[in-house]
Copies of this chain bind each other. A is one copy, B any other.
Amino acid sequence: MREIVIGGAQMGPIQKADSRAAVVARMIALLDRGADGGCDLVVFPELCLTTFFPRWMMEDQAEVDRWFEREMPNGATEPLFARARERGIAISFGYAELTPEGRHFNTSILTDRTGAIVGKYRKVHLPGHAEYDPDRAFQHLEKRYFEPGDLGFRVWRNMDAWMGMCICNDRRWPETYRVMGLQGAELITLGYNTPSVNSQMSDEGPEQRLYHSELSMKAGAYQNSAWVVGVAKAGDEDGHPLLGGSVIVDPNGFVVARAETEADELIVHACDMDACTFGKETIFDFKRHRRIEHYGRICSQTGVEHPGD
């Protein structure tokens, strides 16, 4: 048994006016709750230091850059790292990253129990659009404010397990899980900010969107025999509702813990990394069963090509 007690630290809404200090205080409270509950690792959402700013159209780059972090840890987040170190808990969380070269990424990091960053991931599958779209009920400008991640999907050895990360919309793409599964991922953590309504189809409400979110994570877990921990930022941000539904999914594709609120809420499960072994050695023993000679289009072709095109 290689048990890692994992806390999924769902966060309620963060308003535009909320300071990073106020947000970090909430994260520390969740971390403490996790530590008191025996957690080894606490996972926070995507872009969890601020409101989900890509819903706002901004023309002024200086205004955009206000939402980004220039280093990590920094002054605002150092108290979180310090508390994690003090309590001996690994953490993962997402933030908007502005590099010294001026590049913008939607990023997440993973630490070990000493607060040292052992892994960094930059979101590959950016949803939404780059220009103002008058036909949408609201904007989703991730393609405007970020460039696609340049680090790929990696896994790291941490706490005696193979851990990988992805972010939000990445979870809908089976390629995400598979690239990590091919590196032996036993745990995949992700945060998300998912609007409760589809900006392009108003009658697609929260139930259907929760179903899609969970369906994708359950399939990714089962088909790679890995734990998947998906953590939401939820609730009403300045009039824009975000889905909750944070879950911990076991390597069989079953939900073992699920958030019940749209507020700050910790879900906890003792995850045995050895539970990944049976699937990886039988039905999803990739070495014996995968047939890469027939997968070529997945890597060589981005969009649809009909036969005869």
Q: Could you list which residues of chain A lie within 8 angstroms of chain B, going by C-beta atoms?
A: 124-127, 148-149, 152-157, 162, 169, 172-175, 178-179, 181-184, 200-201, 208, 211-212, 215-216, 218-219, 222-223, 252-254, 278, 280, 282-292, 294-307
Contact = CB atoms under 8 A, between A and B. Distances in A.
A127 B148 CA distance: 37
A182 B305 contact: yes
Given A290-B303, A292-B298, 10 more contacts: A125-B290, A127-B289, A152-B294, A183-B307, A208-B252, A219-B223, A286-B304, A295-B298, A296-B299, A298-B299
A179 B297 contact: yes
Given A124-B291, A287-B303, A300-B292, A278 B201 contact: yes
A215 B307 CA distance: 28
Contacts of A184: 304-306
Nearest to A296: B299
A158 to B, nearest CB: 11
A252 B201 CA distance: 13
9 contacts: A125-B291, A149-B294, A173-B223, A181-B304, A183-B305, A183-B306, A184-B304, A200-B282, A288-B303
B298 A182 contact: yes
A222 to B, nearest CB: 6
Given A283-B172, A297-B182, A302-B290, A307 B223 contact: no
Given A152-B294, A216-B219, A299 B302 contact: no
Given A219-B219, A286-B302, A307-B183, A294 B124 contact: yes
B292 A299 contact: yes
Contacts of A222: 212, 215-216
A302 B201 CA distance: 39
A157 B308 CA distance: 10
Contacts of A155: 306-307
A105 B5 CA distance: 46
A118 to B, nearest CB: 12
A296 B183 CA distance: 12
B174 A219 contact: yes
B306 A162 contact: yes
A125 to B, nearest CB: 6
Contacts of A304: 181-184, 280, 286-287
Q: Most chain-B CB neighbours within 10 Å: which of A172, A178, A295?
A: A295
B215 A295 contact: no
Contact of A289 (B125, B152, B223, B253): B125
A182 B218 contact: no
A66 B176 CA distance: 43
A212 B253 contact: yes
Contacts of A296: 299
Given A212-B222, A219-B215, A223-B172, A179 B289 contact: no
A178 B183 contact: no
